[in-house]
Structure 1
């Protein structure tokens, strides 16, 4: 049986606050005995639930890393009951390069689960998280935003699950996070996702999309900061009640929520994030980038709803996702 070579430099089950690395040996041209050093913090105090908090699953998404770096720095053992495991930059190679996928092996960590102990760097990271960290967690929060190619309304999300009691627990945790928008989310490419791995292990899982366009804003970081503390309060790790404000509930009932580019070129959006649109009406049009005097290709909404995500930057390729239409929940 192959053993995963990743080893923590700190104890994962000791009381107190511990900050270190998950050390993954990685021999390469510039470092024959080198390692990938993934930052990890563990804060524990007594018996209680365990929360696994992850950011940087994709390396060009920044709200999670910022909020979790701050939490790791200032969260004190005496403030909690249970344990908090923090991986601010879970996909460190991608995060360091500012890329969605790893520059080492091209791997998309969020399509690599459950991973392999003898696989690529990305597969080894996925395998370690799936086999060593997720099994001990009661709740998992994985921060996402749109990265360099998408921009989202700021929302927390949970998935429709076959186990309705598990689904209800995930939906309650999503509501406790209390983002400006709360989404019952449909994934169109769930194979290999961290989400799927965590849910198949029977855990409470919450994810987010808090903005995008390759950056974070003061507002999006504030949503992340508030949300993670709300979730820790919800599961009883932090004392007190979640800080609650109004949230708009959205649903993604089927694949018609997604709009893809049928042409390449310069995209002109005709509505903005949060605007409503009717089925068959254009959300954008794509102008050719190599000539003038020709008609643009329209991008028509495939259902009624609210524009919850859009493409960035201004040039698109055939097949790019250019819009996500979510449905308000009455």
Structure 2
């Protein structure tokens, strides 16, 4: 274990994770700044506990411009009754609270991407300190982790719930059971571009059941995507046995991302025109989008082509794109 992991976390919780009942409080991280010499970052948290049973750790706002998770979790925190719970529910609607307040993907304090900051550092940046607290305090308490994501300001997704292919096939199968229970319109066997530093990876390496989502995007939430999140989190708690009642079943289409060919990246800067909408079928080598140079008229656009057959499950947002940006993501229906 690295030396800095032996140091205590600077974060203190105003809630008692072992006490029965409902508690609404904060994770308080001291943060000295120009406008508050002895200031703090105050991350809202709720704990609902009743006797023995499994623990669900529910998180949103891992990226600050993704809103379905915070909507569902702020709503759940005000509605959940301890008498209805068997076990424990820990709710953090906005993990990267400074980013959430700023409506940005990364923290305005240190530009930290929470989902690339694990295992974190107790003596690091603000984002690293928050990650360290989750790594050493909250994740060890959890049996099931549900982390909400959507496309933020730069991507738009078909609404899906997802888990990952794992070396431990029993762990993988349990995760996909929770994906099925969540009941999103689409369910994904998800491939990540880069797993280093991810919250997902930290939880999975501890043997936790980890489930995530991509529920839309464009820097906002719709009535439909928010309702998918609200229904899904209750379904997960029911499937875990923390809440009583039957899972509210919904039809779902199962998708797989079999290889890196799923991803199409822009190599040119300009105005992007999509020729395919989300959910539509794309043939290999078909043109997904055109990128128009915007410096002058009369120039032919560059074509972005599919590297495989599949459905368009994600696309760049908004209208201008830069080299290296993810333009489109495909998946195959299984």
How would you bin the TM-score normalised by the shorter chain? over 0.9
Residue number among 236, 239, 242 corresponding to 2:241 in the alignment: 236
Q: Who is 1:265 aligned against?
A: 270
Q: Who is 2:112 aligned against?
A: 107
Q: Who is 2:76 aligned against?
A: 71
Q: Who is 1:180 aligned against?
A: 185
Q: Who is 1:282 aligned against?
A: 287
C-alpha displacement of 1:258? 0.4
Count of aligned residue pairs for this structure pair:
329
What SS is found at the alignment partner of 1:117? coil
Aligned-partner Cα distance in 2 for 1:130–1:53: 14
Cα deviation code 1:34-71 (max 9, x no counterpart): 00000000000011000000000000000000100010
Q: Who is 1:315 aligned against?
A: 320
Residue number among 215, 237, 246 corresponding to 1:210 in the alignment: 215
C-alpha displacement of 1:2? 1.7
Cα deviation code 1:212-268 (max 9, x no counterpart): 000000000000000000000001000111101110000001111000001110000
C-alpha displacement of 1:3? 1.1
Output the TM-score relative to the length of structure 2.
Answer: 0.98
Cα deviation code 1:172-219 (max 9, x no counterpart): 111110100000000011100000000000000100000000000000
Output the TM-score relative to the length of structure 1.
Answer: 0.99
What SS is found at the alignment partner of 2:324? coil
What SS is found at the alignment partner of 1:205? strand
What SS is found at the alignment partner of 2:88? strand
Written as runs of structure 1 = structure 2, the 5 A alignment for 1:147-162 is 147-162=152-167
Aligned-partner Cα distance in 2 for 1:197–1:148: 25
What SS is found at the alignment partner of 2:151? coil
Q: Who is 1:85 aligned against?
A: 90
Aligned-partner Cα distance in 1 for 2:281–2:267: 22
What SS is found at the alignment partner of 2:180? helix
Residue 333 of structure 2 is aligned to residue 328 of structure 1: yes
Gap runs ≥5 in structure 2: 1-5
Give me the CA root mean square deviation.
0.5
Aligned-partner Cα distance in 2 for 1:316–1:186: 23
Gap runs ≥5 in structure 1: none
Q: Who is 2:3 aligned against?
A: none
Aligned-partner Cα distance in 2 for 1:126–1:232: 24
Residue 12 of structure 2 is aligned to residue 7 of structure 1: yes
Residue 197 of structure 2 is aligned to residue 189 of structure 1: no
What SS is found at the alignment partner of 2:225? helix
4+ aligned runs moved over 2 Å, structure 1: none
Q: Who is 1:253 aligned against?
A: 258
Written as runs of structure 1 = structure 2, the 5 A alignment for 1:25-44 is 25-44=30-49
C-alpha displacement of 1:13? 1.3
